[in-house]
Structure 1
Amino acid sequence: MNSTSPTERVDVLRRIASVITVPLGALASLSTIAIMVAITVDVVVRNLGGRSVPGLLEMSESALVATVFLGLAYAGATNAHVAVDLLTAALRPAVARVLIGIAWLGAVAVSVWFVVATLQRALQSTAANELRQGLVDWPVWPARWLIVIGFAAFLLVAVINVVLIVRGQPLLGEDDVDPDLAATQQARTASPPADPAAVRRDDHSTHHRPEEGSR
């Protein structure tokens, strides 16, 4: 008999997303640092020696691929992706939730397409030992596999978010909201508007009477 509660199953999904996306996000950050270091070294050597360092440009291009595609799933899991909520913010929460769910379903469909297409291209590139010719012959096929990994991880995030929406749970990243800020916003929403007449009476009662010495 399975004794796992729905809450525990949701927590498992969140842990799976964290275990996969956090290391990928860290690698994306390291790739960004590698690009900065490579560009700095190349500029210094070019200014001092009059020539570029062989391989640094090609390495920076591969690192840029890692930065973009390995960080894709982490952005989705932390709710840090670019979003325009002008429409959903004006709708009722239930209606906005349905639209967000439809958007994540679309993300699942598109991600499946991207994973299949990039996987086929990565297999072809690996079989042909695809190279980029420059100052050095730089292999391109490892970067193509990074694209596959990035899209596959984002597909996992999209599927988990769809499951969370169906179960009525916060999306990945939405449960990291500051509790104090959330409580303040909830209190403002729940508090009834003040009575204008009462406010005027309070304002009138707080006027200072003139002191006797000023007569």
Structure 2
Amino acid sequence: MQLVLNRFSWFLSYIAMACLLLMMLQVVADVVLKYVANAPIENNLEIVSFYYMVAVVFLPLAMVEMRHEHINVDLFYRMLPRRLQTIVYSLASVAAASFFGILAYQTAIDAVRATHIGEVMMGTSLVPIWPSRWFLPIGLSATALICLNHAFQAVVNPHFDPEPETPELTEDETK
């Protein structure tokens, strides 16, 4: 299960990276075409806003959780005994999974509705935006599954460490 979630997280991150690259290229092309040929890309704002930005934000959430890189505050957590840390971490992971699961469920309902009605956005022409509605439930569901997997791993694996690996700083980087 761990391997499947890991690969799926990477897959979603690669899609997000491709969207980021495409967004950059499209915005640059739009600016160049606008000022050089006076022919901007039609519906550029809508495509960037409803497709690229949504994919870049929501698809990599699973990878961020997989690598334990979400923002967390462990002010008192580190002072707890190891066993209590495991319990707290597991409960927090289940709570996070519940939160992401509820969001995934609601956004899936919205995506189904948008797909059913063929949701469009009015730009210089009609832009179908219903496909982009699916990025949210996909990214949020994957994140919820990873949170559940982390809770499970914390309980069954005595060597599970929720801390992200931090690279050692070289002497040049500390100056």
Asked if TM exceeds 0.5, the reply is: yes
Contact map agreement 2:90 2:152 (CA 8 A) in 1: no
Distance change >3 Å, CA 44–CA 148, structure 1 → 2: same
Partner of 2:55: 66
The two structures, once aligned, show a CA RMSD in angstroms of: 2.1
Deviations 1:84-125 (A, max 9, x none): 233323433333332222211111111221121111111110
Q: Which has the higher contact order (CA 8 A, sep 6+)?
A: 2
Q: Which has the higher helix share?
A: 1
Deviations 1:35-83 (A, max 9, x none): 1111111122222234531032222121111111110101111122222
Partner of 2:160: 170
Partner of 2:18: 30
Partner of 2:65: 76
In structure 2, which of residues 122, 132, 148 is the aligned counterpart of residue 133 of structure 1? Answer: 122
Partner of 2:74: 85
Partner of 2:171: none
Partner of 1:45: 33
Equivalent position SS for 2:60:
helix
- Counterpart amino acid of 2:148? V
TM-score by length of 1: 0.70
Which structure: larger Rg?
A: 1
TM-score by length of 2: 0.84
Report the Cα distance in structure 1 between the residues aligned to 2:82 and 2:127, rounded to whole angstroms: 51
- Counterpart amino acid of 2:24? M
Contact map agreement 1:121 1:144 (CA 8 A) in 2: yes
Equivalenced residue count is 166
Partner of 1:145: 134
Distance change >3 Å, CA 51–CA 150, structure 1 → 2: same
Query: Which structure 2 residue ranges, 5 or more long, are not aligned?
Result: 169-175
